[in-house]
């Protein structure tokens, strides 16, 4: 049988890097095909070539036996290739229907379109009301808008880039039902994900990329997540070791914290109360956009809060800024590495100064001790195995994983008493992620209190002593992480999803 899509010898080079090197593989009709690989392995470039966003330097593609060279996304869509991006391109101030109409070549008239949206979404179990404002939708619902937008074109091949990163476990189940239905109808799906367990559940075949080359193929259901991860990185991995948890005194006490989000489409914090103890790793799960960023800003001091809501070692610090908190021993690492945790065009030395100058005493009377700062940056690079030619290199020249190691290392090297980190291993390759988790565990083992906000439940289960969930700006009770099941967490994360809106 001819495959739906055949890629042969596809090569694409960018200045200084070969993103795809002679890549070949087939996707059969009605097959869910996984594309596996670490960050920078060339998955995005490959997918962009298929969707016509990137023109390959050499190599050919065939769609249904005919030569396929889309050139631009419009032609790809016309040929029956649709794509759901990891980052949504939706206008928050417009309705679902308006957003979908904007993405169509010949959008039908509004009521007809609404009717069509309702039919398609009901057919595939993706509840969606075309008249709602996108700004009011959860991340999972926004993804449905993107998916329905694709399904309206009746695609032959649906490309999905990290589709589950914004979903609760229950929403993932619903999505998988949809994918199975599409598959049964003969639609092929190219599925890109880091989550190996999901790939085992849903995918028929997997192609593994490393440094732009195809390094292997497998049938995911016959592999273990560990064996697939090792194929991706090319080495054997060891899981971080976790010691027994003995809670010390409460270092950080958050009591009845309310905070209005400064972002009009953000989530305000509601009545957050918890204690964080020495030696504890508290994992906070939840779907993105449920108040994680706001909680982070409130704890780091970038947003000030009411007096009495945040106490650090018994002292009220709600009205104190980030630098005061740092010198006292409360250190943070925000989610966004480039542009928030680090200034992109500044060198690693300068970025070490950014959060280190107070606690590491890198200035005298305001004058910067550049040699001491450089040594501090070098120490981070050495201790945390940051791959960079020198500490004079700009932050943006580092790969995501290396910069993340630098950002985490910069804070851990300052011996925090309380360390708060958001998405510590987001977009980081497996080997670097394991190093970062190990460093966090060691920090807690040595008596620091650690709060980890993450959307990766496997990660939270691996490193947390205690566990809570953020949902719509409110936090669940903190409970022991031992014995928590994914189903329970899903319900805490707002798993009432199933009966959410009228079908």
Give the footprint of another protein on this chain (CB under 8 A): 14-16, 55, 71-72, 75, 300-302, 321-324, 326, 332, 334, 336, 339-346, 350, 353-355, 357-358, 363, 366-368, 370
Alpha-carbon span 4 to 10, nearest angstrom: 16
Contact 188, 30 (CB under 8 A): yes
The nearer residue to another protein, 15 or 483, going by C-beta atoms, is 15
The nearer residue to another protein, 243 or 344, going by C-beta atoms, is 344
Smallest gap, in angstroms, from Cβ of residue 161 to another protein? Answer: 23
Contact 234, 43 (CB under 8 A): no
In the chain, helix, strand, coil percent, each to 5? 35, 25, 40
The nearer residue to another protein, 193 or 292, going by C-beta atoms, is 292
Helix (H, G, I), strand (E, B) or coil at 291: coil
- Cα angle, residue 2 at apex, residues 190 and 223 outer, rounded to 5°: 45
**Helical (H) or strand (E) element with 67:** strand 66-67
Smallest gap, in angstroms, from Cβ of residue 354 to another protein? Answer: 4
The nearer residue to another protein, 185 or 345, going by C-beta atoms, is 345
The nearer residue to another protein, 160 or 341, going by C-beta atoms, is 341
Q: Name 10's bridge partners.
A: 23
Smallest gap, in angstroms, from Cβ of residue 167 to another protein? Answer: 27
The nearer residue to another protein, 217 or 363, going by C-beta atoms, is 363
Alpha-carbon span 40 to 329, nearest angstrom: 35
Smallest gap, in angstroms, from Cβ of residue 309 to another protein? Answer: 19
Smallest gap, in angstroms, from Cβ of residue 371 to another protein? Answer: 12
The residue written with tokens 């925000």 in the block is 334
The nearer residue to another protein, 214 or 395, going by C-beta atoms, is 395
Q: 392: how many CB neighbours lie within 10 A of its CB?
A: 12
Q: Both tokens of residue 445?
A: 């083992």
The nearer residue to another protein, 140 or 318, going by C-beta atoms, is 318
What is the number of alpha carbons within 13 Å of residue 405 lying toward its C-beta? 25
DSSP classification of residue 113? H
Smallest gap, in angstroms, from Cβ of residue 173 to another protein? Answer: 36
Smallest gap, in angstroms, from Cβ of residue 302 to another protein? Answer: 5
Distances (CA, A) of 231 to 214, 215, 287, 400, 435: 11, 8, 29, 20, 18
Helix (H, G, I), strand (E, B) or coil at 250: strand
Smallest gap, in angstroms, from Cβ of residue 419 to another protein? Answer: 15
Distances (CA, A) of 16 to 19, 212, 408: 10, 13, 28
């Amino acid at each position: 049988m001819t495959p739906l899509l055949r890629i042969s010898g596809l090569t694409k080079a960018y200045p200084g890097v070969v993103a795809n090197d002679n890549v070949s593989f087939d996707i059969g009709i009605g097959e869910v095909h996984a594309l596996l690989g670490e960050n920078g392995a060339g998955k995005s470039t490959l997918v962009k070539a298929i969707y016509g966003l990137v023109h390959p330097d050499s190599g050919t593609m065939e769609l249904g036996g005919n030569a396929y060279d889309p050139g631009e996304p419009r032609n790809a869509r016309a040929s029956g290739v649709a794509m759901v991006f990891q980052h949504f391109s939706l206008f928050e101030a417009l309705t679902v229907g308006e957003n979908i109409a904007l993405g169509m070549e010949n959008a039908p008239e509004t009521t007809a379109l609404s009717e069509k949206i309702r039919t398609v979404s009901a057919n595939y179990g993706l509840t969606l009301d075309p008249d709602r404002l996108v700004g009011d939708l959860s991340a999972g619902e926004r993804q449905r808008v993107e998916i329905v937008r694709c399904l309206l074109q009746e695609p032959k091949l649906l490309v999905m880039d990290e589709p589950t990163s914004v979903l609760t476990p229950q929403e993932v189940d619903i999505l998988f039902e949809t994918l199975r239905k599409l598959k049964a109808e003969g639609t092929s799906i190219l599925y890109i994900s880091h989550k190996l367990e999901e790939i085992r559940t849903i995918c028929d075949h997997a192609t593994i990329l490393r440094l732009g080359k195809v390094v292997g193929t497998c049938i995911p259901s016959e592999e273990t997540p560990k064996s697939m991860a090792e194929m991706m990185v090319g080495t054997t991995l060891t899981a971080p070791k976790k010691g027994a948890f003995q809670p010390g005194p409460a270092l950080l006490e958050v009591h009845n914290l309310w905070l209005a989000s400064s972002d009009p489409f953000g989530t305000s914090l509601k009545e957050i109360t918890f204690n964080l103890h020495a030696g504890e790793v508290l994992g906070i799960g939840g779907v993105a956009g449920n108040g994680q960023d706001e909680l982070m800003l409130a704890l780091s001091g970038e947003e000030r809060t009411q007096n009495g809501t945040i106490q650090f070692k018994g002292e009220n610090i709600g009205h104190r800024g980030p630098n005061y908190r740092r010198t006292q021993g409360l250190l943070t690492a925000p989610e966004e590495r480039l542009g928030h945790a680090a200034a992109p065009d500044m060198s690693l030395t300068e970025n070490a100064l950014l959060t280190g100058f107070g606690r590491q005493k890198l200035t005298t009377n305001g004058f910067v001790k550049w040699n001491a700062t450089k040594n501090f940056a070098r120490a981070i690079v050495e201790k945390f195995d940051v791959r960079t030619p020198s500490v004079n290199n700009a932050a943006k020249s580092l790969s995501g994983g290396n910069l993340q190691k630098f950002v985490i290392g910069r804070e851990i090297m300052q011996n925090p008493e309380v360390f708060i980190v958001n998405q510590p291993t987001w977009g980081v390759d497996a080997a670097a992620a394991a190093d970062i988790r190990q460093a966090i565990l060691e920090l807690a083992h040595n008596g620091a209190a650690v709060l980890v906000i993450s959307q990766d439940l496997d990660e939270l289960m691996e490193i947390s002593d205690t566990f809570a969930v953020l949902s719509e700006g409110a936090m669940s009770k903190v409970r022991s992480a031992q014995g928590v099941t994914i189903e329970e967490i899903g319900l805490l994360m707002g798993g009432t999803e199933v009966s959410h809106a009228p079908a």
